[in-house]
């Protein structure tokens, strides 16, 4: 098996967990955080096999992933795959990726999306759509039930990558049940609609239990959060990546969302720590 490079982005650990599991199954695989490369003017991908692993936000690709794709340069003949995590609304991210990559004269060979726990009661949806019983969906049993299926699908995914299978593009076989996704009417929509989202304000704030510990600042991937006078400030001039890392990793559950004031549980993938999320911003 040739050298594999997996470039990943993760807000609360689902996608990092998936990247780690693929690494366990495929020899000579390196994990590289996308956030650590975003300040580079150009990014050369050196592996023979290149993977993108990231979560789906509002049926689209996260902002840092789009920024990354705009900066990368491929070598001829590199096999490219993408694995995403979703909370039940996978959208058509494979199509978005194909269009983004077409600008780089690169095609996506293999795509798969995995259903996992939602890390948000709201996402970017209007406040009236907030799930007030969201905490009921992040039980240990629900996590385990989804993980059993994820592990089975990861075996399928890893085998396909090792064999350099295709399930997208003109050369994809049409009889690969479970691997071939269906094209849709969204192909007719302009690229701009796919890749540009409004700079929505989620409405994060803290209550009186905030200790100013700085965990939220450390995990914030866009560096939007700054501790000022012992309290987090979400800077208006810095764009949010909508990852909900601050909300979920606050040790006091002090960070709330407009119209969601419950302190009845937060979610991050078990075993993925705030430190694991924070160090994505470095190349250590």
Q: In this predicted structure, what is the pLDDT of residue 183?
A: 43
> 181-228: per-residue pLDDT in tens?
444 444 444 444 444 545 567 889 999 999 999 999 999 999 999 999
Indicate if 187 and 247 belong to the same structural domain.
Answer: no
Any idea what the CATH number is for the domain that residue 219 is in?
A: 3.30.70.20
Indicate if 160 and 238 belong to the same structural domain.
Answer: no
If you write DSSP's letter for every residue of 171-236 in order, what string do you get? Answer: T--TT-TTTPPPP-GGGGS-HHHHH--------EEE-TT-----HHHHH-TT--EEEETTEEEE-T
> 131-161: per-residue pLDDT in tens?
999 999 999 999 999 999 999 999 999 999 9
How far is residue 216 from each of residues 27, 123, 127, measured CA to CA in Å? 35, 17, 22
C-beta separation of 87 from 117 below 8 A: yes
Q: Which helix (H) or strand (E) holds 82?
A: strand 79-86
C-beta separation of 115 from 86 below 8 A: yes
Q: In this predicted structure, what is the pLDDT of residue 178?
A: 43
User: Which tokens hold the place of 159?
Assistant: 């085998």
Question: 262 exposed, middle or buried (CB, 10 Å; 0-12, 13-18, 19+)?
Answer: middle
Q: How many domains does the chain have?
A: 2
Q: In this predicted structure, what is the pLDDT of residue 47?
A: 95
Indicate if 137 and 255 belong to the same structural domain.
Answer: no
Out of 155, 173, 195, pick the residue that ends a domain: 195
Indicate if 123 and 253 belong to the same structural domain.
Answer: no
Indicate if 12 and 126 belong to the same structural domain.
Answer: yes
How far is residue 267 from each of residues 205, 206, 219, measured CA to CA in Å? 18, 17, 14
- Spatial CB neighbours of 263, under 8 Å, sequence gap ≥ 6: 253, 256
pTM, whole model, 2 decimals? 0.91
Indicate if 97 and 139 belong to the same structural domain.
Answer: yes
Its domain, for residue 85, covers: 4-195
Indicate if 22 and 163 belong to the same structural domain.
Answer: yes
């Amino acid at each position: 098996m040739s050298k594999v490079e997996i470039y990943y982005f993760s807000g609360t650990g689902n996608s990092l967990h998936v990247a780690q599991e693929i690494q366990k199954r495929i020899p000579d695989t390196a994990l590289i955080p996308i956030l650590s490369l975003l300040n580079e003017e150009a990014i050369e991908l050196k592996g023979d096999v290149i993977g993108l692993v990231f979560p789906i936000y509002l049926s689209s690709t996260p902002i840092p992933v789009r920024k990354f794709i705009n900066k990368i340069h491929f070598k001829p003949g590199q096999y490219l795959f993408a694995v995403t995590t979703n909370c039940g609304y996978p959208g058509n991210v494979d199509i978005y990726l194909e269009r983004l990559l077409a600008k780089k004269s690169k095609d996506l060979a293999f795509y798969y999306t995995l259903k996992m726990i939602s890390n948000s009661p709201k996402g970017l949806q209007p406040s009236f759509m907030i799930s007030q019983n969201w905490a009921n969906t992040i039980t240990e049993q629900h996590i385990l039930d989804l993980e059993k299926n994820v592990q089975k699908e990861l075996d399928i995914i890893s085998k396909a990558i090792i064999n350099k299978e295709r399930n997208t593009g003109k050369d994809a076989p049409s009889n690969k049940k479970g691997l071939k996704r269906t094209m849709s009417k969204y192909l007719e929509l302009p690229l701009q609609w796919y890749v540009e989202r409004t700079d929505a304000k989620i409405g994060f704030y803290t209550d009186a239990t905030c200790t100013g510990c700085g965990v939220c600042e450390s995990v914030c991937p866009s560096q939007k959060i700054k501790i000022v006078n012992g309290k987090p400030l979400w800077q208006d001039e810095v764009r949010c990546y909508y990852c909900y890392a601050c909300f979920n990793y606050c040790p006091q559950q002090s960070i709330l969302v407009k119209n969601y004031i419950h302190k009845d549980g937060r979610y991050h993938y078990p075993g993925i720590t705030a430190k694991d999320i924070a160090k994505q911003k470095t190349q250590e």
